[in-house]
A and B are shown apart, each in its own frame.
Chain A
């Protein structure tokens, strides 16, 4: 699964640590999601969408 986390974070001028603070997760987790090494659980994906104030389908999309 791919995502637009990096791009949307850049728009807000947030570092990975800033986003991690908003989500109460580690910076390592944000990095793993951004680089596609880890697909977040549904609860975390919804939390990310809520923090970025966007619908979840505009954040995550399939590989193909």
Chain B
């Protein structure tokens, strides 16, 4: 029996995508501004309490983005939630292994801990995104 071919997204897909994109724009803009200000402006007084707050300012945008992701996860249907959580688990696993490796290298006095931390975070996020893309692509 023939089936109508229709590759369009469902109403639920479109609503969720639209809401996630719309709600991600303000925290991304804030992240750009706060991170940009850290790069461009030199405060000159690193011990100042105000400087500590300013150095942490991108965290507000990061937490906001995390909250948007959480909202998106709550709006997802049951299968999308499974896919999303499995991808997050893979990302977390990659980060845990890399953090352990970085810690061992640091213990042996090899490498820069700050760089290994940034690398760990970056690879963890990339693993999450790639796993999510691969699992989503398999479901098309």
Which residues of A are at the interface with B, using a C-beta cutoff of 8 A? 6-7, 9-11, 13-18, 20-21, 24-33, 37-38, 40-41, 44
Contact = CB atoms under 8 A, between A and B. Distances in A.
Nearest to B8: A17
B4 A15 contact: yes
Contacts of B138: 37
Contacts of B115: none
B10 A41 contact: no
Interface stretch (B30-38, B50-58, B59-67, B76-84): B76-84
Contacts of A32: 79, 139
A21 B140 contact: no
Contact of B77 (A14, A15, A26, A37): A26
B4 A14 contact: yes
A19 to B, nearest CB: 9
Nearest to A40: B78
A26 B10 contact: yes
Contact of A25 (B1, B79, B136): B79
Contacts of A33: 79
Interface string B27-52: 00000000000000000000000000
Given A17-B9, A20-B10, A24-B12, A29 B2 contact: no
Contacts of B77: 24-26, 29, 44
A31 B139 contact: yes
B18 to A, nearest CB: 13
A28 B29 CA distance: 31
B110 interface: no
12 contacts: A13-B4, A17-B10, A20-B11, A25-B10, A25-B77, A25-B79, A26-B77, A27-B8, A27-B13, A29-B139, A30-B10, A38-B82
Contacts of A24: 11-12, 77
B3 interface: yes
